[in-house]
Amino acid sequence: MVIEGKEYDYFCGTSYYCLHGHERLIRAACDAARKYGLGPATGWDMPPLREVEELAAAFFGTPKAKYIVSGYLGNFTLAHALKGEYHRIFVDEVSHYSVFDAINSVGKPIHPFPHLNPEGLRDELKRHLRPGEVPLTITDGVFPVTGAMAPLKEYAQVLAPYGGILCVDDSHGVGVLGGNGRGSLEYWGIEGERCYLAGTLSKAFGGFGGIIPGDEALMERIARYVRIPVGASPPPVPAAAASAEGIRILAEHPELRERLRRNVAYLRARLRDLGFEVDDSPVPIISLKPRGNLDLKRTQEKLKEKGIIVKYVPPRGYSDAPGVGTIRIAVFSEHSREQLDRLVEALRHLVH
Ligand SMILES: Cc1ncc(COP(=O)(O)O)c(C=O)c1O
């Protein structure tokens, strides 16, 4: 990454395969801009928009997929499309802003449950559900600051006796987790009728816009209950063309996921060797918590002086950010072993 003329090793953001700068995506966007302009204003009849939906359905192994103007609105779309199906909403207390904006707009009772806590969900269900009521549980699949994975399989088990619905904001899971990169539901082995995901094409896929895979029935509900696709302009067509190319690349090149997985495992292990409390998850977001006298804000500044950029997240500085400052490290498939080692060595000097 070049910033103000200086080259840095970059460990921020969400472009886990660096596809936003991939020549195929850039070419697809430029070709589409020349052919179609920026887009059809409020209409949807441009081939790249449909192509995204076809490619996404194939990628996620669902009959259909709905392409929407942003990932942020994916939770809104699901919560409204399904609103005839549930009575109360149970939400992880530090879910993403988009989750809370979505559920606050539905007009049904909302019950937060403790972060990442299936027993807490069980308690809230017992406390609030009346006989015959169906719960909707909604959470991030992967939390954007800490990289924590929601225990979705346990949530699904807790919900099963109530016929509950599980909706997952999987913005950071899609394209990354699961044997085929289909995200958190695939990772936990719970893809199916009562589990839904809202994803984004703006992170791992290198493009732009939200994506909701599903069956005909879900698409009909979206068409009936969600006005955004008819009332708002679609994603810009060049962005759609780039998104389609991003989906193609991830589908054609499973070795990218393997390379990311290797980089994540390597960096997590090396950071553990340095004494950081880092678990063994496959998520390409690594959170460093304070330890001893280490000032993480200062650490971030020192790393920058050494040509390495990581993100310092202030206490409660984002939806799931804890009450203490942390460093967020994003791992990419394209980081070289040398770059990962440079980060580790720089940290070693700062912590010892
Ligand atoms: C958990 C989560 N959900 C939703 C979004 C919004 O997605 P988009 O940028 O595609 O609107 C983000 C971040 O951008 C996010 O981190």
pLDDT of 40 reads 77
Of 9-13, 43-47, 49-53, 317-321, the least confident: 43-47
Ligand 1 touching residue 171 (CB < 6 A)? yes
Of the candidates 207, 205, 166, the one whose C-alpha atom is nearest the C-alpha of residue 59 is: 205
Ligand 1 touching residue 71 (CB < 6 A)? yes
Return the best residue to mutate from 202, 211, 243 for the ligand 1 pocket (most ligand atoms within 8 A of CB): 202
Beta bridge partners of 92: 113
Residues 64 and 213: their CA atoms lie apart, in Å, by 6
pLDDT of 242 reads 98
Tell me the mean pLDDT in the region 314-324: 97
For ligand 1, the distance from its centroid to the CA atom of residue 12, given in whole angstroms, is: 15
Residues 196 and 79: their CA atoms lie apart, in Å, by 10
pLDDT of 211 reads 98
- Asked if 231 and 202 touch (Cβ cutoff 8 Å), the reply is no
Residues 171 and 57: their CA atoms lie apart, in Å, by 16
Nearest CA to ligand 1 atom 10: 71
Return the best residue to mutate from 20, 69, 200 for the ligand 1 pocket (most ligand atoms within 8 A of CB): 200
For ligand 1, the distance from its centroid to the CA atom of residue 349, given in whole angstroms, is: 34
Assigned token pair, 248: 């193609």
pLDDT of 30 reads 98
For ligand 1, the distance from its centroid to the CA atom of residue 232, given in whole angstroms, is: 19
Tens-digit pLDDT profile for residues 28-52: 999 999 999 998 777 788 999 999 9
pLDDT above 90 covers a percentage of the chain that reads: 94
3-class SS string, 195-254? EEEEEECCCCCCCCCEEEEECHHHHHHHHHHCCHHHHCCCCCHHHHHHHHHHHHHHHHCH
Ligand 1 touching residue 98 (CB < 6 A)? yes
Residues 6+ apart with CB under 8 A from 147: 172, 281, 283, 284, 285, 286, 287, 328
- Asked if 60 and 180 touch (Cβ cutoff 8 Å), the reply is no
pLDDT of 133 reads 98
Pairing of strands 285-288, 326-330: antiparallel
Nearest CA to ligand 1 atom 5: 72
Residues 21 and 280: their CA atoms lie apart, in Å, by 29
Q: What is the pTM of this model?
A: 0.97
Tens-digit pLDDT profile for residues 62-81: 999 999 999 999 999 999 99
Of 4-8, 39-43, 283-287, the least confident: 39-43
For ligand 1, the distance from its centroid to the CA atom of residue 274, given in whole angstroms, is: 31
- Asked if 221 and 215 touch (Cβ cutoff 8 Å), the reply is no
For ligand 1, the distance from its centroid to the CA atom of residue 77, given in whole angstroms, is: 14
For ligand 1, the distance from its centroid to the CA atom of residue 290, given in whole angstroms, is: 26
The chain-wide mean pLDDT, for the chain, equals 96
Ligand 1 atom nearest residue 140's Cα: 1
Residue type, 112: P
Nearest CA to ligand 1 atom 2: 171
Nearest CA to ligand 1 atom 15: 171
Ligand 1 atom nearest residue 201's Cα: 10
For ligand 1, the distance from its centroid to the CA atom of residue 224, given in whole angstroms, is: 24
Ligand 1 touching residue 140 (CB < 6 A)? yes
Beta bridge partners of 313: 326
pLDDT of 204 reads 98
Ligand 1 touching residue 200 (CB < 6 A)? yes
Nearest CA to ligand 1 atom 3: 171
For ligand 1, the distance from its centroid to the CA atom of residue 168, given in whole angstroms, is: 12
C-alpha neighbours within 13 Å on the C-beta side of residue 237: 20
